Structure 1
Amino acid sequence: HLQNDGPAGEPDEPGTPGWELHLPVRTGPGETVIRKSEDDGFEETSLAAELTAAGVRSLAVCGVMSEMCVLATARRALELDYRVVLPHDAHATYDIPAAPDISDVVPAAMASRVAEWALGDEVEIVARAADVAFDTADGTTDGSTRTA
């Protein structure tokens, strides 16, 4: 799991309401929380080292915001030769405000879809996170989706 640490006064300032991970995480074997301050979850974090140590080569990238953290982390994972799966129902964003003389409001659903498209054909886009399963090191299918 990646948790964003924003600057003081921002909605994701550590320790403030709304900063907590949406789903409770009980850290332990297979459940790690890595705190980050950049959009790219690999930048200046231990993510790559922890994935390498665990033998992980495939990632399901989920979260907010589709066009920022999700896109940046997925793009870096592709550059690092990970298999990247992007479940359509497991990333989201906000409406993009209108820009006078440029565009109307861009609905959040459209912005998320554009973020998927921007990753090109290297990423695997699936409709539902519930459909994501990876093979474990011993070749069996792990129906759970563990994240780092």
Structure 2
Amino acid sequence: VFERLIIITYLSILLGFFLSIDKEQLDQILRKLKNRDGEVRSKAIVQLSELKVMEAVDELTKILYEDKDFLVRSHAAAALGEMQVNGQEAVKALIETVKKDPIPSVRLEAVVALGNIGSPVVVEELTNVALNDEDVRVRSWAAEALRKIKLH
């Protein structure tokens, strides 16, 4: 058992080393969030999510409110959920996205993100979505998100 623990610890350190990012690399990725090409912005969001760059949370939150490309907004919502960002502004932005975004796939990603974050603060809003969203997939995923939150 002890040997396994040592191996797991070593692998975690090694993985952290390979997934670390320096300031120059971070700045380069953050600049891509301003690119006119939505695909470039989406790829940058995925990179930030994979690296769990918490410094990018404000930028990802801003994207939910402002980006015109629905795929970019979807990626931003998914990233916040994958990073399990439980900050008040991020959760608020995800709730607003669930309530107001006209694109069902964006609302769906926001619902999934809220379920991944697991904050009990969102139970009322997710219940409303599970009962009333116009899209059956969004309703279904809202119900699943509620189940995940109750398991926490």
Give TM-score, length-normalised by structure 2: 0.33
Whichever structure has more helix as a proportion of its residues is: 2
Give TM-score, length-normalised by structure 1: 0.34
Higher relative contact order (CA 8 A, sep 6+): 1
Specify the structure having the higher radius of gyration (Cα). 2
